[in-house]
Amino acid sequence: MKRLIFATLAASLLAVAGLAGGAGAQTAAAPAQANWPQRQVTVIVPFTAGGTTDLFARIFAQAMQQKFGVPFVVENRAGAGGTVGAGHAARQANDGYTLFVGTASTHAIAPYVYKSLPYDPGKDFQTVSLFATLPNLLVINPRIPARTLPELITYVRANSGKLNYGSSGIGASNHIPAEIFQNMTGAKMTHIPFRSSNEIMNALAGGHLDLAFDNMTLAWPQAQGGTVRAIAVTSRERSPTAPDVPAIAETLPGFDVATWHGLFAPAGTPRPVVELISAEVKRIYSQPDVIAKLKEIGAVAAPNSPDEFAAFSAAERDRYRDIVKSAGIEPQ
């Protein structure tokens, strides 16, 4: 039951993506369209199946497979906050047949929380398009006697060192908010890394975890189902999806940690192919039904051009450099 709501919404989204596969006019870059794709395209996801990143990848892959008639296979390679999968993707051929779903974790945060990476976020990848943006949601196990953020802060401070929180690994976008929270409140919690958001929600609902700052796409359906309790969102402002849930910044001014997911290719991938794929992302993620379904789980579709995504990614690296520094996180 604890995964039913999200699973139902995910299935609905994938069904909508399937319908989107055959819709829309011909895209730009006609010469590239005549030659690509001629065989299977692999879409690498740096987290396990069933999580938010995996969902965005499958929306894209299913629609592309339906339109082009060749397999678009999602390959999950989890580990180290997404950096294992990113490193693998960076080493693949730049022929347009390997794509990568990157996140704030892999392309904005990782350079500042790891002493060394198996890839360079800015040099080893070609930006294709953003998929969506979304806040994280602070959720707690219902047994914790707190219903508001001030109550939770009081409880965490009174039990400093006794509580735990889950994330997808050091430097993951659901790890950074917890570190900032501890820094701003003065409370200490034990970090328990998992391979995916799906595992975090299962542990939280099962009583093995106290709290998490996880992607709203997965956490909000669980909160609606009553398996976890929603306390606040990590973005500067409240989410239109859950307007009654306050922003952490309303209690802790300056708290602002949102996340994003987007499509990359190995550096050097032919520009006409990149432009074609980017146009397809825009078509898929601009479908009214996809936009509406994403909103139900707290995400905002935000497709853009390769150059716009490159500028966005660079700005995010600058922003997270300051966030990580302010949180006092030392590179591992």
Domain containing residue 145: CATH number: 3.40.190.10
From 192, 222, 250, the end of a domain falls on 250
332 domain-assigned: no
Least confident segment among 4-18, 26-40, 265-279: 4-18
Is 277 found in the same domain as 200? Answer: no
Phi, psi of 127 (to 5 degrees): -70, 140
Q: For residue 10, what pLDDT is reported?
A: 56
Q: Pairing between strand 164-167 and 211-215?
A: parallel
Q: Is the pLDDT of residue 2 over 80?
A: no
Q: Chain-centre distance of CA 318, in angstroms?
A: 18
Break the chain down into helix, strand, coil percent, rounded to 5.
45, 20, 35
Q: What is the reported pTM? A: 0.84
Q: Which residue range(s) make up the domain with 90?
A: 4-134+259-327
DSSP conformation class of 109: I
Q: Is the pLDDT of residue 268 over 60?
A: yes
Q: Is the pLDDT of residue 23 over 50?
A: no
* CA 321 to each of CA 171, 208, 264: distance values in angstroms, whole numbers, following the listed order: 11, 32, 21
Is 268 found in the same domain as 202? Answer: no
Q: Is the pLDDT of residue 37 over 90?
A: yes
Residue with tokens 């009214």: 288
- What average pLDDT does this structure show over 140-163? 97
214 domain-assigned: yes
From 229, 250, 271, the end of a domain falls on 250
Is 70 found in the same domain as 13? Answer: yes
Number of domains in the chain: 2
Averaged pLDDT score across all residues of the chain: 90
For residue 250, the surrounding DSSP H or E stretch is: none
Q: For residue 27, what pLDDT is reported?
A: 42
